[in-house]
Amino acid sequence: MIVCIAEKPSVAKDIAKILGAIHRKDGYFEGNGYQVTWTFGHLCTLKEPHDYNPNYKYWNLEDLPIIPSSFGIKLIANRGIEKQFKIIETLVAKSDEVINCGDAGQEGELIQRWVLLKAKCKAPIKRLWISSLTEQSIQEGFQNLKDSSSYENLYAAGSARAIGDWLLGINATRLFTKKFGVNKTLLSIGRVQTPTLAMIVQRQKEIDSFVVEEYWELKTIYKDTEFNADIDRLKSQDKANKGLEYLKKYPLIILSFEIKEGREKNPRLFDLTSLQVEANKKYGFSAENTLKLAQSLYEEKYITYPRVDTTYLSEDLYPKITNILSNLKPYENFINSLLNNPLPKSKNVFDDTKVTDHHAIIPTHISPTNLSSDENKIYDLIARRFIAAFYPECKISNTLVTAKVGEVPFKTSGKQILELGWRELYKNERKDNNGNGEKILPIFIKGETGSHEPFIHQGKTTPPKPYTEASLLRAMETAGKQVDDEEMRELLKDNGIGRPSTRANIIETLLKRNYIEKKKKNIYASLAGISLIDTIQNELLKSAELTGVWEKKLRLIEKGEYKLDIFKEELILMVKEITNEVKASNYKKISTESVSTYKREKNNSLPQNKKTVINDKLLCPKCKSNTLIAGKSAFGCSDFKNCNFKIPFVIYGKKLTYKQLNDLVTKGKTSKIKGFKSPTENNFFEDILCLDDNFRIIFGNENLKIE
């Protein structure tokens, strides 16, 4: 008897029907020489600390780090799981062959391997590897079964990930909770969770410390077209007024008028992250919700496997594309023009070197019916992107006009779409009287001149934008680097933190633990999240870039280019170093209710007229034993009577931000600060602030004492 083990009952039912196992039994299907059973996702998990030593049930600093000599697995304590495992164990024990039909990915491999390991399977094991659940795909998969040994590296990578998360999560969470937590505050640390939170906290602090500055720009209207002065923004209204008076004296002269035709490349097919990003931008869907909807469409056989990190198709799929396109009935008006000509075989779509376990997410040849509203939105994103990949490129016209008024340079630019190409799929989303949403300029002639209408535009600098799930997913994908170019993003994927299938869960975990909060689409760090990151001094735990290096090693294990044992040794060494460092540290205990009590005011400066602790870790640099507090007009040592250290809220007309205060106290100097007002002249200057040997505040460049 051949036993097939799928990851879900619904998938087992589809496989059983195709194999002829039509008789329903308790926990499996049987027939035609096959028994088809299933798991419910994870049936097994790594053993917990107390499974190795009963004393580990209690959290004690002295027991850390906890490093088992070898890692074991156990069944998850659940009656339904225990019953289903017993059925699998019985079937496997009597089998002649076992076929692993789990999801074709790292997590799916790990789920099934643990079950077979726990069941002590001795029968030969084969692997079904498919990218969609259509009947055709399943049949082709069973015709091309591979030996389980072909996926040893995939299993090793899954094991390394699970063990790494266990080692760091168990030890670091217990370590920081017992060392720094008070009032039973749990300080949760994770290999991917913590650097993700650190990125959000860093962005939060940049926003909180941002000081809004006014600026003025010179603009003018000529031939109903707005031109911008090609000079730096002006920092005072007086200069802007003088500039405006100057512009009124001279006509505008056109220096150049350039039109360059170009092309906009087709958007890449979706991987999971880009699908989640697009769904968040367009519909506000959370990453987790998008994954659930995509998984549902996959199980309904309407799209291919969604938990992928490539935007390419394998070259052997090319002959099947026409059939898939011809079955996308709701999009016939877009497809008919494609089917009249041979489809292009672009390297931007088909590239075997960019495809590993799976190809990009595309529709199957089965046309969907009875989709929910949200399922339809996700399917529409995937289908349109798929069709757009085979359309011609979009032809555009870029226009750049340069001019001058007196000696002041001006410029304006515009873009016109000449041929929609792939944008035909999205033309209803682009709104203006030309249907393309772009600024179209009139014709200008070099050397022409005429009167114009100059004016002043007054604006304010804006802080960095909070993360949305879309921008956070991109930041996780590129280990915190801000990358807009799709090709560059592809190169950085190996160093991204987390996997496409786990990033949504990381964000949800941070939300559930109240380390972050969502307001509409925006994500903000909570006081609890800021407190936790402020407490962690070891950069290894919160560096997105370093975590990205670990992720790359996991991918190398998957490719057979790195060893699981070496990865484990590196993690164990790191955990030991962190444990020893934190045990020896003398940072103050924290609670998530009390730390980072500074309030955000409209001007984003630190609190004023409030005698409050700024941060329980920010010690007075002079006495090094007391915290800083905010008084009526200055930050000062909480033991000011004996210590006398203080920093004024406002120095030469400039309010200090949290970051500037933090740098001054911890580093002894700030970075260059703009906006100091001279007491003798009516102008502004920039400088750095320093603490001298007597802990007085001085300007770095002028050695001037600040009272």
Best CA proximity match to 402, nearest among 253, 189, 180: 253
In contact, 275 and 294? CB cutoff 8 Å: yes
Shared domain check, 508 and 469: yes
pLDDT of residue 387: 97
pLDDT of residue 485: 60
Best CA proximity match to 311, nearest among 343, 356, 280, 341: 356
Query: What is the dihedral angle through the alpha carbons of 84, 86, 87, 89, rounded to the nearest 10 degrees?
Result: 120
CA 68 to chain centre: 32
Query: How far is it, in rounded angstroms, from Cα 324 to Cα 362?
Result: 9
| Residue 606 lies inside a defined structural domain of this protein | no
Shared domain check, 384 and 277: yes
- Domain CATH for 234: 2.70.20.10
Residue with token string 């190169």: 491
**pTM of the predicted protein model:** 0.76
| Residue 607 lies inside a defined structural domain of this protein | no
* Parts of the chain with a pLDDT under 70: 430-438, 480, 482-494, 586-617, 632, 679-682, 701-707
| Residue 598 lies inside a defined structural domain of this protein | no
| Residue 435 lies inside a defined structural domain of this protein | yes
Among residues 388, 423, 445, the one where a domain terminates is 388
pLDDT of residue 684: 74
Burial 40-76 (b: 16+ CB within 10 A, else e): eeebbebeebeebeeebeeeeeeebbbbeeeeebebe
Query: How far is it, in rounded angstroms, from Cα 211 to Cα 604?
Result: 6
**How many domains does the chain fold into?**
5
Write out pLDDT tens, residues 298-337: 999 999 999 998 999 999 899 999 999 999 988 999 998 8
pLDDT of residue 609: 37
Among residues 388, 415, 450, the one where a domain terminates is 388
- Domain CATH for 352: 1.10.290.10
Shared domain check, 408 and 376: no
pLDDT of residue 588: 53
Looking at the DSSP assignment, which residues form a beta bridge with residue 614?
none
Instruction: Classify 567 in phi/psi space as left (phi over 0), alpha (psi -120 to 50) or beta.
Output: alpha
CA distances from 411 to 170, 261, 304, 431 (A): 59, 19, 48, 25
Among residues 434, 460, 486, the one where a domain terminates is 460
- Domain CATH for 478: 1.10.460.10
In contact, 313 and 350? CB cutoff 8 Å: yes
pLDDT of residue 483: 56
Q: Which residues are catalytic?
A: 305
Shared domain check, 278 and 352: yes
Write out pLDDT tens, residues 464-501: 999 999 999 999 988 767 655 666 556 566 678 888 88
Annotate 506-534 with DSSP letters as a single string: HHHHHHHTTSEEEETTEEEE-HHHHHHHH
- How many residues appear in the chain? 707
pLDDT of residue 430: 52
Query: How far is it, in rounded angstroms, from Cα 91 to Cα 370?
Result: 37
Query: How far is it, in rounded angstroms, from Cα 61 to Cα 312?
Result: 49
Shared domain check, 125 and 11: yes
Element (H, E) at 299: helix 287-299
In contact, 246 and 218? CB cutoff 8 Å: no
Shared domain check, 575 and 475: yes
| Residue 189 lies inside a defined structural domain of this protein | yes
CA distances from 207 to 597, 656, 661 (A): 16, 14, 15
Question: Which amino acid is present at 699?
Answer: F
User: Which DSSP letter does residue 626 get?
Assistant: S
- Domain CATH for 18: 3.40.50.140
Query: How far is it, in rounded angstroms, from Cα 233 to Cα 460?
Result: 11
Q: 448 lies in which domain range? A: 214-265+394-460
| Residue 473 lies inside a defined structural domain of this protein | yes
Write out pLDDT tens, residues 562-603: 999 999 999 999 999 999 999 887 655 554 443 333 333 333
Best CA proximity match to 270, nearest among 289, 293, 297, 294: 294
Annotate 361-399 with DSSP letters as a single string: B-B-SSPP-S--HHHHHHHHHHHHHHHHTTSPPEEEEEE
| Residue 89 lies inside a defined structural domain of this protein | yes
CA distances from 270 to 308, 349, 381, 387, 555 (A): 9, 11, 9, 12, 20
Best CA proximity match to 404, nearest among 450, 358, 372: 450
Shared domain check, 410 and 557: no
Question: What is the 3-state secondary structure of 129-189?
Answer: CCCCCCHHHHHHHHHCCEEHHHHHHHHHHHHHHHHHHHHHHHHHHHHHHHHHECCCCCCCC
Shared domain check, 324 and 237: no
| Residue 151 lies inside a defined structural domain of this protein | no
pLDDT of residue 564: 93
pLDDT of residue 607: 39
Query: How far is it, in rounded angstroms, from Cα 606 to Cα 436?
Result: 45
Beta strand 28-31 with 214-222 is unpaired
Shared domain check, 445 and 325: no
Shared domain check, 566 and 474: yes
Shared domain check, 136 and 19: yes
Query: How far is it, in rounded angstroms, from Cα 12 to Cα 5?
Result: 7
Share of the chain residues as helix, strand and coil, in percent rounded to the nearest 5: 40, 20, 40
Backbone angles phi, psi at 122, to 5 degrees: -115, -10
Shared domain check, 669 and 689: yes
